[in-house]
Structure 1
């Protein structure tokens, strides 16, 4: 149990806190409307659907307050910087911002469903208040408001009123439909297949959040749900008068009750986060106007494009990423790319694997398809937003770091390995890290020959420095054909690996993670080990379990802290 808490405790605390606040807000509001004296007559008309609709509305307001915060990249970066003095396992929770954003969205969907269903019951109950079958108190409550001196409780004034028409003609009804439609569009466009194949559909649909919030703010101004005023409660004794409703207005003890609609409250919840998000977008816009100069374009094998750039005032840390925008390709698309340069270099660079329409267009715009010198003034204009931090920037906070990449997930570790080696070889640069393990699992290395070149240069430097133990790297090849297998077998006894050209031989097949984690734990007793991974979800789940399993329950034992790259 103790080793499981090493990675899961902070996440569990945040999750329980969020769920606890939702539960408290729902329960407190439900109790207020289910038992509050001001809503006795409202409950007589609507029943428990009143409390369900109001409790879900409160939870909706709370989650709409939160929904924009996890996707405010600059806010997350600021919090990461301000949390630099905090423990790593607390700061790591900021890397789950997208997942938290999705969980909040699921809660909004749930509470929206409850709210809509409850209000459908409410509208029907309001309508039934005028039906011929309604007698006694229900009929009396619905008839209040006929005279100009009375304030109504039932917004539907006659039984002939069509509830659907009444819903579509009211402020609450129209804005409710708009909110629901925009929410459905935002949710459905967030599917992975839409994001990958039709990014602009996702982009446009998600920006309907502007309409969503405007509708949310206006929604409560209709004041359909009404309760008794405090003054009326003093003059009109509900406990006594509801049994003498036929005598209302005729006896001094029971004047006609006065009702009021609740003040719109949603704007109070969402004003601050919307202002913060507007500031976020203004910062992004200002950055998009800053000049970015492409100083070098390198075309690597397998259609991998390396862009080396400069931008005034640009400061980075290893493991960070940027968003790249090219107006000549698309006015709306911003794509994230991990920085592959180290902070010690005089430029920043990214490696782009051509996989889709946007990257293909950028490949051609940079002249990579013709493989000849391109005049600098012919280079496409690009804008850069960032850099932004990810889990990997904490790699220097551990005594031992384990870097695990699968396929294209190797990109974030280019910058990290460069920076680790640079710091390790300069005595003036203090670093906590004592040892690095690097694992790379890929089907083939052709698409990443540029990275094999980086490892080769690090290998040569380690040999010159006589420090072969600091960086331990393991490459696993999971795909090969019969011709490659024969070639590998023929040259296996050579000093250099036939696939990568490295002195470290390539392994064939997949790693035995139990064996690897056990070995790391034995070699590094009483150490904090940071495990950093970039790759597919299935392997991420396996590594997460390994970290929990091999973390020692003893305070002075080896502890594995799992960090997943999310961009």
Structure 2
């Protein structure tokens, strides 16, 4: 238990403290707003009419404004990117920024809880408005007559209509944002989630009708209907009663103050709350002789809360819509419906582990999706690459765009390559290059594509077959790139030992690290990183072929550099096909240095071995995969006992 608590504080202590501080901030705001409306003399008559419903509704409204204000900030990716990329940003702050989505979800939960309490308080207020109707104070009463049905009050008022609409929108957004609903239909989640725009409009309109009012002439009309005479004072000192009800021990009441309690709602025909007969029956008290109270609608505060966050978010979304245009320079189809897409944009500079958001107007003019870079631009290779798993509607349409707009499969194979015209990319009048494209399913080279490029016409010849014409190039789909953005995977180089766990397509962030080692080995010497343990789990052997060439090349490079122990690769196949495993080993003899095993990884044994091998060190554990894989790795980071004082710091890729 002690070990688990210690590891939890090392991994999630900062996030837990931050969330507790946020919950405390909401509690403090609720408490002081409640006291303000409970004791405020300007709300005396309204409080007498509504009771605790007034205080609770206003306290929850303040918390709703706070959470609706802050919930947008974690979604401002450019702000978090600037803060995270700052040189002096510490590891704790970087980890908090990487988990900004958790804060967004926490604000959403708090918003839902406060909205539910707020709705209940207003239902209670509607009942009291109807029950405690009085013509004398009709200015502060929403009801038109006594015992008016509360549902009529709600359905015929601007706050009631907007409140019901916001409650419905909040329920829709919350349901669609659940993990099960989001996985079932991401596009539905994305569209419904953007109903928050309508939610904010209704929130700004919610209090515009001025239903809640406060007394403005407190100095002329002191709230309360009686003045009290202290009978023990020989001079007959007069004390004005404080607003009621007052709890016992109110620090604002002096010891000599005589407090006269109100007897409930003010009936019609009575003088300032009590009849003359009643006042005469109360010793030492006489009716107040003061002007009628005057009331004014409370000012709308929602726009003050929303002004800065909404402005920042609007600017953020505007920059995304006018993102950087990127040209596709190569597309390769890999086994198991994975597309490798290479882009070119000379203004994009990225680091291994970063991600980008891609928007394709041919598929959706506003919808964008995140992808981790598998290779980053360098001085000699100004291209960046992503690997896209075709698993949903958006990715499926992107794949269809490539197959239907000029990029065709060569010899009915599952691989294709294409180059686009770009003056910056090909400054010469004619450029010849060769790309070897592999049929990854059958482990053999199927073609060598010779691409000829000129200033105005480009043709790609694959095995003598014309694949693309200049007219087809004009209709190639365009992509807009937003980013790059920082992710936890950038911290791989900040540890001397890093454990990289991947499930399926989750290998992509580590591919960028391997590419950096392969093409910029000299940069590796300047980093803190001294050893990588790569654990990659896939359902089939064919999935390993997405990056098997890269792993093979990096291991050969490290072997030649006399650093064979720098990269330790563990390949696990959950649905084992021993024939395919044998073929893979025969094709890549250097993979004998990898551990190709059938079944899931035994994390318990692995972590115990790592703790013994790397004593008195902090080991960075990085995971990118399914939820079950992330939970399993995180659990072992928390509960692994280490007598050698080896600490495991868990990081996961999340968007």
Mapped partners of 1:334, 1:28: distance in 2:
42
Mapped partners of 2:565, 2:652: distance in 1:
25
Q: Offset at 1:378?
A: 4.2
Moved more, 410-419 or 275-284: 410-419
Per-residue deviation, residues 474-502 of structure 1 (Å, max 9, x unmatched): 1111112xxx33676xx59x985889955
Q: Offset at 1:10?
A: 0.4
What is the aligned partner in structure 2 of residue 370 from structure 1?
409
Per-residue deviation, residues 66-115 of structure 1 (Å, max 9, x unmatched): 11111121122122123x42332331111212222122111111111111
Mapped partners of 1:352, 1:486: distance in 2:
27
In structure 2, relative to structure 1, the CA distance for the partners of 1:279 and 1:552 (3 Å cut) is farther
Contact kept in structure 1, 2:356 and 2:370, CA below 8 Å = yes
Per-residue deviation, residues 494-550 of structure 1 (Å, max 9, x unmatched): 985889955423022222212111221222222221111001222222222222334
Q: Offset at 1:369?
A: 5.7
Moved more, 182-191 or 159-168: 159-168
Mapped partners of 2:161, 2:579: distance in 1:
70
**Greater per-residue helix proportion:** 1
**Greater per-residue strand proportion:** 2
Contact kept in structure 2, 1:404 and 1:439, CA below 8 Å = yes
Contact kept in structure 1, 2:498 and 2:619, CA below 8 Å = yes
Contact kept in structure 2, 1:80 and 1:91, CA below 8 Å = yes
* Larger Cα-atom Rg: 2
What is the aligned partner in structure 2 of residue 535 from structure 1?
625
The structure 2 residue matched to 1:59, chosen from 54, 63, 71, is: 63
Q: Offset at 1:392?
A: 0.4
Mapped partners of 2:17, 2:178: distance in 1:
28
Moved more, 392-401 or 414-423: 414-423
Q: Offset at 1:410?
A: 1.1
What is the aligned partner in structure 2 of residue 317 from structure 1?
351
Q: Could you say what secondary structure the match of 1:269 adopts?
A: helix
| TM-score computed with the length of structure 2 as normaliser | 0.76
Q: Offset at 1:162?
A: 4.3
In structure 2, relative to structure 1, the CA distance for the partners of 1:307 and 1:314 (3 Å cut) is same
Contact kept in structure 2, 1:401 and 1:532, CA below 8 Å = yes
Mapped partners of 1:487, 1:15: distance in 2:
48
Contact kept in structure 2, 1:88 and 1:397, CA below 8 Å = no
1:437-516 matches, within 5 Å, as 437-480=533-576, 484-485=577-578, 502-516=592-606
The structure 2 residue matched to 1:235, chosen from 199, 203, 221, is: 221
Contact kept in structure 2, 1:497 and 1:506, CA below 8 Å = no
Q: 1:419 aligned to 2:411?
A: no
Per-residue deviation, residues 236-269 of structure 1 (Å, max 9, x unmatched): 2527367697333996634322233321111111
The structure 2 residue matched to 1:354, chosen from 381, 384, 390, is: 390
Contact kept in structure 2, 1:89 and 1:561, CA below 8 Å = no
Q: Could you say what secondary structure the match of 1:349 adopts?
A: strand
Per-residue deviation, residues 365-389 of structure 1 (Å, max 9, x unmatched): 2236633633443421222111111
Contact kept in structure 1, 2:352 and 2:513, CA below 8 Å = yes
Q: Could you say what secondary structure the match of 1:328 adopts?
A: coil
What is the aligned partner in structure 1 of residue 143 from structure 2?
156
In structure 2, relative to structure 1, the CA distance for the partners of 1:500 and 1:366 (3 Å cut) is farther
What is the aligned partner in structure 1 of residue 191 from structure 2?
204
Contact kept in structure 1, 2:517 and 2:524, CA below 8 Å = no
Count of residue correspondences? 538
Residue segments in structure 2 that go unaligned for 5+ positions in a row: 228-260, 277-286, 411-415, 417-466
Contact kept in structure 2, 1:496 and 1:504, CA below 8 Å = no
Mapped partners of 2:341, 2:540: distance in 1:
23
Q: 1:129 aligned to 2:217?
A: no
Q: Could you say what secondary structure the match of 2:482 adopts?
A: strand
Contact kept in structure 2, 1:401 and 1:433, CA below 8 Å = yes
Q: Offset at 1:443?
A: 1.4
What is the aligned partner in structure 2 of residue 149 from structure 1?
none
Contact kept in structure 1, 2:41 and 2:218, CA below 8 Å = no
Q: 1:73 aligned to 2:60?
A: no
Q: Offset at 1:421?
A: 5.1
Mapped partners of 1:117, 1:514: distance in 2:
49
Contact kept in structure 1, 2:65 and 2:302, CA below 8 Å = yes
Contact kept in structure 1, 2:349 and 2:376, CA below 8 Å = no
The structure 1 residue matched to 2:157, chosen from 170, 173, 176, is: 170
Per-residue deviation, residues 380-405 of structure 1 (Å, max 9, x unmatched): 12221111111101111111111110
Moved more, 313-322 or 235-244: 235-244
Mapped partners of 2:507, 2:533: distance in 1:
13
| TM-score computed with the length of structure 1 as normaliser | 0.88
Mapped partners of 1:500, 1:311: distance in 2:
35
What is the aligned partner in structure 2 of residue 183 from structure 1?
170
1:7-18 matches, within 5 Å, as 7-18=11-22
Mapped partners of 2:394, 2:31: distance in 1:
49
